[in-house]
Amino acid sequence: MKLFLILVTTLFTTTLSKICYWNENCHYKYFSSKTPYEFVRGDIRDSVVTKPGCKPISLWGLVRHGKRNPGENFVCKMLDATVIKDYIKRSYQKGDGHMCAQDVENLINWVSDEDTFRNVHQIANEGYEEMAGLGQRFSAVFKDLIMNSDKKNYTLRSAYGHWLENSVRGFIQGIGNESLVIEQSNKTYDVMAPYESCNYYMKGVKKNPDIYTEATKYQDMNEFLAVKEGIQKRTGIDYILTNENITSLYDLCRYTTSGIHNKLSPWCALFTTEDIKVLEYIGDLRHYYRNSYGTPVNKIFGRIPLTDLLETFIKAKNGNGKQFTLYFTHATMMDMVYVALGLFKDEVPLTAEFRNDTRKWRSSKSSAFASNLMVTLNRCIEGKKTDYNVVFYLNERPLESICNNGECSWREFEEKLKPFANTTLDFC
């Protein structure tokens, strides 16, 4: 009897030690700015704000490009990291590590997608689908604005870059109006990426190593060290993982996960939910200081497209505006606009010393692939009285932190954006 209990206890302990990713009921799906749009979006068809007597007369939007493939440098490191499959296989066969059989099998059978690793920096097939879905849903709700426009009544333009330009094409395919004309992107300066032509930002912020100090420091903290140790024990491999190894394995997890098809990557089985949260925070720290509240100049760039929004709606209100204006841009610009609007601001700045799980600044939710800020100007007629309101949507849901659950009176809207009208970039 005693021997039986020992055997049962040993078996039970061994079973508990196996971490099975493939059959978990609830996975953590937030991967900082590489989060698939499907994991964070709402549906404008269900959430559009409607009021009796009100009709949208102009739509303005800022849209991040759809999921794109990693750059060449990332691809090389990710492909180098795939060798860990062989080490995990040998480790499992020797009875080392704590990965369950199906997770190991899925990883061993994983085959790299040719598009992801060959067409560097291009929009991924899923990114094109994200854009098409976005276009389809918005055209269903704002059909009168989007489907029935001649060239003088709309603007469709992206920042410079093939993956951005192809994002616009995906969006048009979703709309189902192939006659829409895409304006040529501007390689030097444009309202949806003014920082790109600013030496002060490109050299002093984006390419300044000091900007990433907190993110780098966090990799020396106990939380990140615990991630490394956990993966080391979980895989049972016989060499020491570096910070670069961890980053590359994380990139394999998030770049080869599909939101559209709700298919998580076998590479994600190397991480626990807590591990993914820690790695997500590194992305938040990078975004916070490079694009957001961590660097004061960022809010100035965010005012440029918001000034365009104000001017666009003033013209529409006066009867000579455009039916829709859509700009396609980078996560950097999305972050800057949030800062200019005062959104997602934490009372205490993000630092390496403390990861607040209830923080407001979450790049996974605000700067995911295909994330978008859409704004409508609505004309409201009641009897002989005509009024206007403005509704903000973030990722197809009303942006509740602005005005009254996303709905601003014209006065509130104008007061919020009018101070941005004289913004200059002379410091560049």
- Lowest mean pLDDT across 1-15, 96-110, 337-351: 1-15
Confidence at residue 317, expressed as pLDDT on a 0 to 100 scale: 96
Contacting residues for 363 by C-beta, under 8 A, at least 6 apart: 32, 33, 280, 283, 284, 287, 331, 335
The verdict on residue 160 lying in a domain is yes
- pLDDT value of residue 6: 39
Task: Burial-class residue 178 by CB neighbours within 10 Å (0-12, 13-18, 19+).
Answer: exposed
Q: What is the pLDDT of residues 54-112, one digit of tens each?
A: 999 999 999 999 999 999 999 999 999 999 999 999 999 999 999 999 999 999 999 98
pLDDT, residue 1, reads 44
CATH number for the domain that contains residue 156: 3.40.50.1240
Percent of the chain exceeding pLDDT 90 equals 86
For the chain, give the mean pLDDT: 93
- Measured between alpha carbons, how far is 401 from 360 in angstroms, rounded to an integer? 11
Phi, psi of 414 (to 5 degrees): -65, -40
Q: If you average pLDDT over residues 25-30, what whole number do you get?
A: 92
Which two tokens mark 118? Answer: 């060959």
First CA to last CA distance, the chain: 80
Q: How many domains does the chain have?
A: 1
Residue 332 lies in a domain: yes
Structure token pair of residue 413: 């809207």
Q: Is residue 164 part of a domain?
A: yes
Q: Is the pLDDT of residue 369 over 60?
A: yes
Range ranked top by mean pLDDT from 109-113, 177-181, 240-244, 390-394 = 390-394
| Within a domain: 73 | no
H-run or E-run covering 287: helix 273-290
User: Is a pLDDT exceeding 90 seen at residue 24?
Assistant: no
Please report whether residue 364 resides in a domain. Answer: yes
Residues in the chain: 428
Model confidence at 152, pLDDT cuts 50, 70, 90, reads confident
Q: 214 near 352, Cβ under 8 Å? A: yes
Q: How far apart are CA 176 and CA 132, in angstroms?
A: 9
- pTM for this model (two decimals): 0.93
HSE-up of residue 133 (Cα within 13 Å, Cβ side): 25
Asked whether residue 261 is domain-assigned, the answer is no
Is residue 390's pLDDT more than 50?
Answer: yes
- Pair 257, 264: CB distance under 8 Å: yes
Q: Are 107 and 85 in contact (CB under 8 A)?
A: yes
Task: Print the domain residue range for 396.
Answer: 28-68+132-231+272-351+359-420
- What totals of helices (H) and strands (E) does the chain contain, helices first? 18, 7
Look-up of token digits 């200059």: 424
In DSSP terms, 234 is beta-bridged to none
When mean pLDDT is compared across 16-20, 249-253, 322-326, the lowest value belongs to 16-20
Whole-Å CA distances, 176 to 59, 134, 147, 179, 412 = 18, 12, 8, 9, 35
- What's the DSSP call for residue 367? S
